[in-house]
Amino acid sequence: MAVKRKAKRKAAKKTAAKRTTKRKATKRKAKRKATKRKAKAKAAAPAKKKRRKARRKKKAA
């Protein structure tokens, strides 16, 4: 029975390794998405500022 137990342990280790690699992959993906989001926000900032300024002007008028 020891052989079967050993095989089971090996299989468990393999699945655990798969899980960690998957976790790392998702983390990487999330990071990539976050940087993209940040870049987009940075690019949109001047336009947003202009809109805000216009709104303030409208309120003042």
pLDDT at position 1 is 73
Q: Is the pTM of this model over 0.75?
A: no
Q: Any idea which residue has 């998405």 for tokens? A: 33
Q: Considering only CA atoms, which of 31, 32, 12, 10 is closest in space to residue 20? A: 12
Q: Is the per-residue pLDDT at 2 higher than 90?
A: no
Report how far residue 50's alpha carbon sits from residue 23's, in angstroms, rounded to the nearest whole number. 41
Average pLDDT of the chain? 91
Domain residue limits, the chain:
26-61
Give tens-digit pLDDT for 32-60: 999 999 999 999 999 999 999 999 999 88
Average pLDDT of the segment spanning 14-40: 93
